[in-house]
Amino acid sequence: MHVEQLELTQFRNIPQLELTCPEELHLFVGPNAQGKTNILESLYVLAIGKSHRTRSHKELIRWEEPAARIRARVNREGRSHRLDIRLTPQGKKVSRNGVEQRRLSEYIGSLTAVLFAPEDLAIVKGSPQVRRRFLDMEIGQVSPSYVYHLTRYNKLILQRNTILKDISKNGKEQEMLLEVLDEQLIQSAVHLWIKRRGFVDVLTRWAQDIHSGITDGKEALSIHYQPSGEMDAGQEEEALQEQFRQTLQNLRKQEIQRGSTLVGPHRDDLRLAANGVDIHTYGSQGQQRTAALSLKLAEIELIHQETGTYPILLLDDVLSELDDSRKTHLLEAIRGKVQTFVTITGLEGIDQGTLDRARMYRVRQGTVTELR
């Protein structure tokens, strides 16, 4: 996977940008709050269909402008594709090779990307919601069916919670509707559980090897997927469906009292440990950074394994957060196989070999100037 050309129009603080991207490594240099992160964000939106920084399309559009646009030419296995996303306050239009994609699940995979930013430490030390979002974003890039069922599941949960809150007023009628809704919910929930289980199994194998390399074999990383409500995601599909069906029935009175769905993929979590010690609770900052780096490098290899091509890598002000050892391991792990876009405030701490093979740009107040 290789971005050959990127064009931005009225995106964030960038009025207009045209980049040709032949090189493997691109460095965007400049002070904070000048627009460096916006460039990486545009590539992430192009890949995922939404921003990692905001849920509002309006925030992606330059102040007092009616719309923003992201266009790119992407080379995948020797074939060029044109990707185009138009953003308005009301929504977005996504097209590939001039054909509008009605469903995001049809578009996902056109460009795959792995983003690594300082806030990704939250995957290790943050809330379960952050880890669920991590799973959703990464699995969605390699599985259109996951995107479909995730969207469906989230809509069903909202509908179900509304029914649970109203059921005391219209008991029998609402309970019948709940039975129908639950069967749809069970189908999508089980699909998500099975996909997550498979993803975590593969991710764990890659991350363990990478983590061992970074720590010189001193630490063994383990990743455990924890479905909510004592659900056993290791079962076959039919058995998992029946367990979830029974669990929903057992929790019915409690859920009606609370007006909320108490079990399902929306309450799952990931637990990470180094040498058996929970990193979330007891890990040092160095261990948390190493675990986060291991996960991100594992993502790259997993996407390559699933799709046959490497994703692009977006490093947003992350090199300054890593010590020399972790920085070297990261740059060597991606060298020669992953097109990488990096934001940095200065060139200090970047080795000469990396600088020699990079195309560099200065970013100031939304204007990008090529240095060499």
Q: At what angle do helices 36-48 and 128-142 cross, to 10 degrees?
A: 60
Environment class of residue 304 by beta-carbon count within 10 Å: exposed (0-12), middle (13-18) or buried (19+)? middle
Q: Is 32 annotated as a binding residue?
A: yes
Q: Name residue 181's amino acid.
A: L
d(CA 26, CA 215): 28
234 labelled ligand-binding? no
Q: Which amino acid is at 355?
A: L
- Among residues 243, 17, 272, 240, the alpha carbon closest in space to that of 131 is found at 272
Tell me: is residue 36 an annotated ligand-binding position: yes
How many other C-beta atoms lie within 10 A of the C-beta of residue 340?
22
Question: Is 288 annotated as a binding-site member?
Answer: no
DSSP type of residue 61: B
Q: What tokens appear for 1 in the block?
A: 């996977």
Check: CB of residue 300 under 8 Å from CB of residue 313.
Answer: yes
The answer to whether 30 is annotated as binding is yes
The span from the CA of 83 to the CA of 140, in Å, is 18
Nearest CA-CA partner of 31 in 357, 337, 333, 320: 320
Residue 35, annotated ligand binder? yes
Instruction: Enter the tokens of residue 68.
Output: 């923003």
Bridge partners of residue 364, in order along the sequence: 367
Structure tokens at 134: 């991590």
- Beta-ladder partners of 361: 28, 370
CA neighbor of 139 nearest in space, from 335, 307, 364, 345: 307
From the CA atom positions of the chain, what is the Rg in Å? Answer: 22
Is 254 assigned to a binding site?
A: no
- Does 37 belong to an annotated binding site? yes
Residue the block writes with tokens 């019948």:
176
In the annotated binding site for ATP, the residues are 30-37
In the annotated binding site, the residues are 30-37
